[in-house]
Amino acid sequence: MKISHKYKICVIGAGHVGLVTAACFSEMGYKVICVDNDAAKISSLKKKILPFYEPELEKIVIKNTKNGNLIFSSLLEQSIRKSDIIFIVVGTPPLSDGSADLTSIENVARAIADNLNSYKLIVEKSTVPVQTGSKVKETIHRYKKSDVEFDIASNPEFLREGKAIYDFFHPDRVVFGVEHARAEQILRRLYSTIKAPVIVTDINTAELIKHASNSFLATKISFINAVARICDLAGANVNKVAEGMGLDKRIGNDFLSAGLGYGGFCFPKDLEAFAYISKKLGYDFNLLQEVKRINEEQRRYFVEKIKEHLWVVKNKKIAILGLSFKPNTDDMRFAPSIDIVNFLLKEGAVIKLYDPQAVREAKKIFKNPKLKFVKNAYEALDKCDCACFLTEWEEFKKLDFLKLKKIMHYPLIADGRNMFDKNLLEAAGFKYIGIGM
Ligand code: UDX
């Protein structure tokens, strides 16, 4: 099929998913306006300063702003009026009861209604509770001032931070939740160069695919973490249990790494929002509460294991290596490091912190003057009584452990991600704490 690059796309929201979506569509040759109401963020983006770290993203943004495919704007009305396809990628942060705050979605829907000057396909990409699409449609109908037609669609995004560009161009599947063939046709054309199975459903089903997928992945992680606890009690090795389970094709080995559990802005928030909407619809999805409980407990459990080993934690020097919720991102949202550092601070530990990318973000969270940020892993490990690895950054796997042994005061490795070979480290004279090992 011939690809039509005539569509003008507007991506509303320059957060992680929004900015990646805008950049990748511009890389495909479309004309994209990425709009955000945070004027400071837009003015930085115009200077090619990105608000977060994502491998490859900067390169794509620079290339496509130069060739004119990608522009940034804080003028929502104008951007809507100029576009044929509008992606809504604004935040849906959690409220205190666990439900998703849909205020920004409603505001955008109203702005679209006010500026509906020609046919537009309005695509939800933000993760939203089921039935949000129909509310967006209702809102636009309620406030629109003309008879101009529009379609609503849901096209959930499954990209992972740190691998977002790869995931955008190589998805496992593309989901189109639509009401009419016209919307399906436009979306198929838009994505025609992406080679992946396409699933076409109604909008409610597409919205549910996203919540159910993230909740299932979180469940897989909590399941293996519960198994890890049993491994510790029984004297078994959870990495091997996971390997043995994962080779069964029906189970698969992804998302079976035991450790400190999941963090980040998606899993914790989506799990809560899915439990909330399920209950609101009349079904108590209690399994999800248990998934959350197991996840939260892992952090405390890890600290208890360290305490057991160090006996008195007060005044012990502890190196924290890895702060972001996972490698290849500077994202600190819901990172296990936040709870772990706070637990250790409460115990009176003297803490040095290091992360290859997340220090700037971490400094916004860790304000206690007792915490010292250092420039590299060796500086953190110098004279420490315990090295806590909380994120499995590649550079940690390349550390010179013979050197570590010499510079550490006491050679205790607390491996929150089961990233090192316990036997090798013990043979080299280290004490080793893993999870389920
Ligand atoms: C996730 C989904 O994977 C993605 O499809 C969705 O669009 C957004 O949410 P992301 O939050 O970027 O992506 O992170 P992901 O790579 O999925 O990891 C989530 C968390 O689970 C991380 O904290 C990670 O350390 C943890 N994890 C993952 C485990 O603890 N064990 C595993 O086996 C896998």
Ligand 1 nearest atom to the CA of residue 160, by list position:
12
Ligand 1 centroid from CA 193, angstroms: 26
The mean per-residue pLDDT over the stretch 132-153 comes to 96
What pLDDT shows up at residue 153?
98
Residue 242 pLDDT exceeds 90: yes
Residue 211 has pLDDT above 90, yes or no: yes
Ligand 1 atom 26: residue of nearest CA: 262
pLDDT, position 152: 98
Please compute the mean of the pLDDT values over residues 178-201 and round it to a whole number: 97
pLDDT of 373 reads 98
Alpha-carbon gap, residue 169 to 150, rounded angstroms: 27
Q: Give per-residue pLDDT as tens, 399-428.
A: 999 999 999 999 999 999 999 999 999 999
Is the pLDDT score of 4 beyond 70? no
Q: For atom 6 of ligand 1, which residue has the closest CA?
A: 158
Domains and their CATH numbers in the chain: 8-201 (3.40.50.720), 217-433 (3.40.50.720)
Q: Indicate if ligand 1 lies below 6 Å from the C-beta of 257.
A: yes
Query: Within a 10 A sphere around the Cβ of 220, how many other Cβ atoms?
Result: 18
Percent of the chain with pLDDT over 70: 99
pLDDT of residue 109: 98
Ligand 1 atom 5 nearest Cα: 158
- What is the reported pLDDT for 5? 64
Ligand 1 contact via 259 beta carbon (within 6 Å): yes
**Pocket of ligand 1 contains residue 326 by CB under 6 Å:** yes
371 forms beta bridges with none
> Residue 320 and residue 220: Cα distance in Å, rounded?
27
Mean pLDDT, residues 336-359 taken together: 97
Containing H/E element for 8?
A: strand 8-12
Return the number of other C-beta atoms located less than 10 Å from residue 359's C-beta. 18
Q: What's CA 340's distance to the chain center, in Å?
A: 19
- Ligand 1 pocket: which of 326, 337, 396 to mutate (most atoms within 8 A of CB): 326
Residue 266 annotated in active site: yes
Q: Check whether 1 has a pLDDT greater than 50.
A: no
Task: Measure the CA–CA gap between 363 and 371, rounded to whole angstroms.
Answer: 10
| Ligand 1 pocket member 261 (CB < 6 A) | yes
Contact indicator for 158, 199 with CB cutoff of 8 Å: no
> For residue 259, is pLDDT > 90?
yes
> What is residue 7's predicted lDDT score, i.e. its pLDDT?
85
The reported pLDDT for the residue numbered 370 is: 86
Q: Structure tokens of 328?
A: 């290849």
Q: Whose CA is nearest to atom 24 of ligand 1?
A: 262
Q: What is the DSSP string of 83-141?
A: -SEEEE----PBPTTS-B--HHHHHHHHHHHHT--S-EEEEE-S---TTHHHHHHHHHH
Q: What is the DSSP letter of 70?
A: E
Distance from Cα 262 to the centre of ligand 1, integer Å: 6
Stretch among 2-6, 89-93, 348-352 having the lowest mean pLDDT: 2-6
Rg (CA), the chain: 24
Specify the residue with its C-alpha closest to ligand 1, atom 21. 262
Q: Give me the percent of the chain exceeding a pLDDT of 90.
A: 97
* Residue 132 confidence (pLDDT): 97
Q: Is the pLDDT of residue 3 over 60?
A: no
What is residue 2's predicted lDDT score, i.e. its pLDDT? Answer: 42
Query: Among 3-7, 11-15, 21-25, 338-342, where is mean pLDDT lowest?
Result: 3-7
Distances (CA, A) of 60 to 19, 69, 323: 11, 11, 27
The answer to whether 244 and 402 are in contact (CB under 8 A) is no
Instruction: Say yes or no to pLDDT of 36 above 60.
Output: yes
Ligand 1 atom nearest residue 213's Cα: 5
- What's the mean pLDDT when you consider all of the chain? 96
DSSP sequence for 217-264 = HHHHHHHHHHHHHHHHHHT--HHHHHHHHHTSTTT-STT---SS---S
Nearest one of 57, 49, 46 to 21, comparing CA atoms: 57
Q: Which of 231, 266, 386, 388 is catalytic?
A: 266
